[in-house]
A and B are shown apart, each in its own frame.
Chain A
Amino acid sequence: MWPPISTRSTLAEALRGWPAPALDPGGPAAAAIATLSWVLLALTGLILAIVLAAIALALLGRPAWRAWLSGERLVWIGGVALPIVVLTGLLIYGLTTTGRLAAAGPPGEMRVRVTGEMWWWRVAYLDAAGREVIHDANEVHIPAGRPVTFELEAADVIHSFWVPRLAGKLDMIPGRRNVLRLQADAPGVYAGQCAEFCGGPHALMGFLVVAHPPAEFERWRAARLRPPAPPSDPLAARGAAVFAASGCGACHRIAGSAANGLAGPDLTFVGARRSLGAGILPNNQGTLAGWVADSQAIKPGNRMPPFRTFSGEELRALAAYLEGLR
């Protein structure tokens, strides 16, 4: 298989460079985990040093020291008491840290439902009553500096939601709803990746979390509550007709049009997304046309069949229409 482009557009953003993103926290959840990692590393390093020193002493030390080392008292202290104390302390520290991260936020906190699908992410923004009011895919917009509750679900197999700079991994399990509270301290784009092997193109299942300044986020949210205007450009209008006539709406929904399929990603604002194919390609008319005509060459095994029925002009019209949905 070709080197996954996701290593550049999502995974590389997510994993490249030093400090590694998991150790370069962009929010409190990731910061707690980064601290936990450093504490573990320091503690295990200290224990390793003690063990190595004991080995060196046992091999090379004076007879009196070696006799002391092999005494029953040291075995009880170093072999039983110390591990019990250290491991119990770490267990309590680790469980309280991760438990705090998994706790649901207070009522009224922004909630996003992300559902892992083979091999993309269904995203729904909930209102105060818990109704899904905005539908999107493969990109989550949040206000910076505020905690957001993520409800993580899975539609088919186990996936894992991982934004290294914002939090640890949390599995998405069919039939369960796992809760994760995330906060991005600063505006920016944070890359995420499915972290649990989920079949075929698992490695090509990326997404982005986009953190806006709060006022900008409110504008974004208000704009998303209304469907985009119908295309005025003649080519894009032709694309809308081709979309409707070709049955794309059986799998894809575009609010404000007759397309209401739920099997694939919601395309209401597909032109506004930063990436295509779940974080693996830049999003423009060219990649949109390529994806529609033959996504199997780009992301082998994905659920969208290739459409080899369009003329060149129809394909361009479709791409123009989709790019204009923003």
Chain B
Amino acid sequence: MGLKLGSSGAGAAVKRVTFLMSAGLAAAACDGGAVQPRALANAEPARGRATIEQVGCAACHHIPGVRGPKGRVGPPLEGFAERALIGGRVPNRPDLLALWVRDAPALVPGTGMPPMPLTEAESRDVAAYLYTLNAR
């Protein structure tokens, strides 16, 4: 628990991260120092990274550790785990992030981010990968 991720080698980090915290939201919120892996039931960051490559998130976002272009339409996602807001509007909570990556307009109607072809399980995996992205 409280595993701190190095910024080097997202792939290695992905392997090391374990999501054993069952309801760790409060714990994460209270921890002023180390960044906690966020709680996402049955989510698997490595699977999330593969999904990110399959659906082409990189067309709009620069995402460390993901093969593909470095899109500039949406914000770069480096350090996303420590970002306060999703899309500048929504609190960066795991449940909201999992919904956001699948159906952003449901949270922010004016967003430019279209709904993505992801299942609920896939969105949790994608969110889990994004939470491995810590700032240096």
Contacts and interface: CB of A to CB of B under 8 A. Distances in A.
The prevalent SS among residues of A at the interface is: helix
B95 interface: no
A293 B111 CA distance: 14
Contacts of B69: 2, 5, 281, 297-299
B59 interface: yes
Interface stretch (B16-24, B28-36, B112-120): B112-120
A284 B109 CA distance: 19
Contact of A319 (B57, B68, B114): B114
A286 B112 contact: no
Contacts, number: 92
Contact of A284 (B53, B58, B112, B117): B117
B115 to A, nearest CB: 6
Contact of A297 (B54, B67, B70, B110): B70
Contact of B112 (A2, A8, A311): A311
Contacts of B70: 2, 297
B111 A287 contact: no
B11 interface: no
Contacts of A285: 114-117
B56 A293 contact: no
Interface in A267-287: 276, 281-282, 284-287
The winner among A289, A298, A315 for most chain B CB atoms within 10 A is: A298
A204 to B, nearest CB: 9
14 contacts: A2-B67, A3-B67, A5-B53, A276-B59, A281-B68, A282-B55, A285-B116, A290-B60, A294-B71, A297-B69, A312-B110, A312-B112, A315-B112, A315-B114
Interface of A: 2-3, 5, 8, 276, 281-282, 284-291, 293-294, 297-299, 310-313, 315-316, 319-320
6 nearest CB pairs, A to B: A312-B112, A290-B59, A285-B114, A290-B60, A287-B56, A287-B59
